[in-house]
């Protein structure tokens, strides 16, 4: 054990580590249209370049893989451990209250800013763990590599690109979840429903509905435009929907049309119960209102019946299921668009190991068809499972227990990380159990002490696995 040396090291270097995290947070890095030499746009390329500059200034070997990923190597020794982190972020809304998304601030022991927890903070903590091992002069016989990606939030094409060129390390962890160790990541189905219909001009009618912007983010807002109904007529329905859904509804009349806006709370689609879905709440409202009967309105009501507000387990869709090691299925209806001649909606379902085409996809297809909706032709993706009884996982748990004083155990999550398709990859940190970082939502934060705890723990793990 090198615990006291590690503690002393981060006592001296914590301020610089936090400053480096803030430097990366200030660079907006959500995915943008491809540019020459920048597959995910300027922001992701710029933040990757800056992070690699940090590592180079520390004396590490770096390589930029065409702005898909960058790598930081301890040395030229045989590969042993990869740490997979990402520098891209999800888009931001306009409802941040503590600070602006790209103006990091530390308040009450929390570092606020987009990417502070997901995943720039943990990425820099992992980099500083490598720096601590080197600066403390602790000899390693095998290499540790930090891999920094730029497309984790939109499909992980960056990591696919990397692994087409480099082999997996014998052991890999991603500090993009929580402690202790996540050895199971649910499989899932990201799909949707659609329907076409003829325009019906009978009033009152719905002209448009729009909500959600990303399939793995619970939508915090939705908007519809109605014709042939006044705000006074709609007010009572909105008040009732507000009571049943917890959403806030606002009404605006202009040029003979009524706009209704719904405000909820965003969240990661892997934990839809932690948010308040503005799209499903809006559908609940509209389905209860006295619109003229039409094929379009009937299809909208069918979507609300298939994905009712507050049903995070797929009960209405007939796919609710659970197993002992990976837990319950979750289903989040996250994007919806409706017009006078058609509608589309997309959902993100995280499925336990027991789920398959027969008890999930086929059931949804039949249920949708019975309501006059067509399910998108998408394939399920498999669950990921690394046995808890491996030397790698046992080492991670032992180090965690020594540094935290808490019980080390393996967990299953609905979220997918970079390790989902790796043979011996797990998620490890960087938040402690019970911490809600508001990931993918407004006022995202990382607990400063948890970032430092992660850096110390990663340092010990590198020593244990690579010396």
Quickly list DSSP for 380-409: -B--EE--SSSHHHHHHHHHHHHHH-S---
Q: Beta strand pairing status for 171-174 and 79-86?
A: parallel
Query: How long is the chain?
Result: 467
**Sequence-ordered list of residues with C-beta below 8 angstroms from that of 359, at least 6 positions apart, any chain:** 319, 321
Torsion of CA 173, 174, 177, 180, to 10 degrees: 20
User: ∠380-211-351 over CA atoms, to 5°?
Assistant: 20
Tokens (6 digits) for 102:
């790209």
Tokens representing 165 are 């060129």
Give the three-state DSSP class for 42. helix
CA 17 vs. chain centroid, Å, equals 24
Burial of residue 170, with CB atoms counted within 10 A of its CB: 0-12 exposed, 13-18 middle, 19 or more buried: middle
DSSP assignments along 400-448, one per residue:
HHHHH-S---EEEESS--GGGG-TTEEE--EEPTT----TTSTT-EEEH
CA–CA gap between residue 38 and residue 274 (Å, rounded): 34
Catalytic residue among 82, 88, 178, 220: 88
- Measure the CA–CA gap between 290 and 234, rounded to whole angstroms: 9
Closest CA to 461 of 135, 70, 62, 175: 175
Cα distances (Å, whole numbers) of residue 238 to 206, 251, 279: 15, 9, 14
CA 226 from chain centre, in angstroms, equals: 33
- Confirm whether 152 is a catalytic residue: yes
State the catalytic residue, choosing from 20, 82, 151, 152: 152
* Strand partners of residue 221: 263
Are the CB atoms for 180 and 99 separated by under 8 Å? no
Question: Which active-site residues does the annotation give?
Answer: 88, 152
């Amino acid at each position: 054990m090198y615990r006291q040396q590690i503690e002393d090291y981060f006592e001296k270097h914590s301020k610089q580590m936090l400053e480096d995290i803030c430097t990366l947070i200030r660079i907006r890095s959500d995915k943008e249209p491809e540019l020459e030499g920048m597959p995910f746009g300027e922001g992701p390329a710029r933040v990757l370049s800056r992070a690699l500059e940090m590592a180079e200034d520390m004396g590490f070997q770096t390589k930029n893989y065409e702005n898909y990923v960058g790598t930081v190597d301890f040395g030229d020794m045989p590969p042993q451990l990869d740490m997979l982190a990402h520098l891209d972020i999800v888009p931001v809304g306009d409802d941040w209250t503590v600070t602006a998304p790209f103006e990091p601030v530390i308040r009450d022991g929390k570092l606020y800013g987009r990417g502070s927890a997901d995943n720039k903070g943990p990425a820099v903590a992992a980099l500083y763990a490598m720096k601590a091992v080197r600066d403390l002069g602790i000899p390693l016989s095998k290499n540790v590599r930090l891999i920094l990606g730029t497309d984790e939030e939109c499909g992980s094409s960056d990591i696919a690109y990397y692994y087409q060129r480099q082999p997996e390390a014998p052991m890999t962890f991603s500090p993009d979840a929580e402690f202790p160790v996540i050895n199971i990541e649910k499989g899932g189905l990201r799909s949707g429903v659609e329907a076409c219909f003829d325009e019906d001009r009978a009033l009152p009618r719905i002209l448009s509905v729009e909500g959600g912007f990303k399939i793995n983010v619970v939508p915090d807002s939705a908007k519809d435009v109605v014709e042939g109904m006044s705000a006074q007529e709609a007010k009572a329905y909105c008040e009732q929907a507000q009571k049943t859904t917890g959403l806030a509804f606002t009404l605006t009349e202009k040029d003979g049309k009524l706009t209704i806006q719904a405000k909820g709370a965003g969240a990661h689609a892997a934990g839809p119960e932690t948010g308040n879905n503005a799209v499903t709440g809006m559908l609940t409202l509209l389905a209860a209102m006295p619109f003229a009967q039409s094929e379009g309105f009937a299809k909208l009501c069918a979507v609300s019946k298939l994905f009712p507000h507050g049903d995070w387990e797929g009960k209405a869709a007939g796919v609710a299921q659970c197993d002992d090691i990976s837990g319950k299925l979750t289903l989040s209806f996250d994007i919806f668009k409706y017009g006078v001649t058609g509608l589309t909606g997309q959902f993100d379902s995280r499925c336990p190991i027991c789920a398959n085409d027969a008890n999930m996809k086929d059931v949804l297809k039949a249920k949708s068809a019975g309501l006059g909706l067509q399910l998108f032709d998408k394939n399920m993706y498999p669950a990921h499972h690394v046995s808890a009884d491996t030397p790698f996982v046992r080492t991670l748990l032992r180090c965690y227990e020594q540094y935290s004083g808490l019980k080390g155990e393996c967990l299953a999550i609905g979220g997918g990380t970079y390790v989902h398709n790796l043979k011996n990859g797990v998620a490890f940190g960087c938040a402690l159990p019970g911490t809600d970082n508001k990931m993918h939502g407004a006022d995202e934060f990382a607990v400063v002490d948890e970032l430092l705890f992660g850096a110390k723990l990663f340092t010990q793990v590198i020593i244990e696995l690579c010396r």
